[in-house]
């Protein structure tokens, strides 16, 4: 489906963008915050890839693999959001000190 393809490409580009920003950052808290954001983008990529795979071919094997991808991506999104919320105040505090 073209909509899933656009979301897959966008999330992959977003993941690469945050990883580049991660390596350019000097601050410890900001690195962890950017890592959490890239984890969310990677989780979206994996989830939508699995969802797209389920719509393309509907054999029992591809549905099972798609469900596994959706679960793994969902867990990555969940842990990324938790880490993002945890490190956001630390990043804001570091930016105030500069």
Predicted pLDDT of residue 2 = 86
Predicted model pTM: 0.92
Of the chain, the percentage scoring pLDDT greater than 70 comes to 100
Predicted pLDDT of residue 60 = 94
For the stretch 5-19, pLDDT in tens is 999 999 999 999 999
Please tell me the number of Cα atoms within 13 Å of 76 on its side-chain side.
20
Q: Is the pLDDT of residue 83 over 90?
A: yes
Q: Is the pLDDT of residue 1 over 80?
A: no
For the stretch 53-73, pLDDT in tens is 999 989 999 999 999 999 999
Helices assigned H by DSSP within the chain: 2-24, 28-56, 60-97
């Amino acid at each position: 489906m073209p909509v899933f393809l656009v979301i897959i490409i966008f999330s992959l580009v977003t993941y690469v963008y945050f990883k580049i920003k991660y390596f350019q950052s000097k601050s410890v808290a900001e690195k962890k915050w950017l890592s959490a954001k890239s984890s969310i983008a990677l989780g979206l990529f994996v989830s939508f890839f699995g969802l797209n795979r389920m719509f393309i071919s509907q054999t029992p094997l591809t549905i099972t693999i798609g469900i596994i991808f959706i679960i793994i991506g969902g867990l990555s999104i969940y842990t990324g959001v938790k880490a993002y919320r945890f490190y956001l105040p630390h990043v804001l505090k570091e930016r105030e000190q500069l």
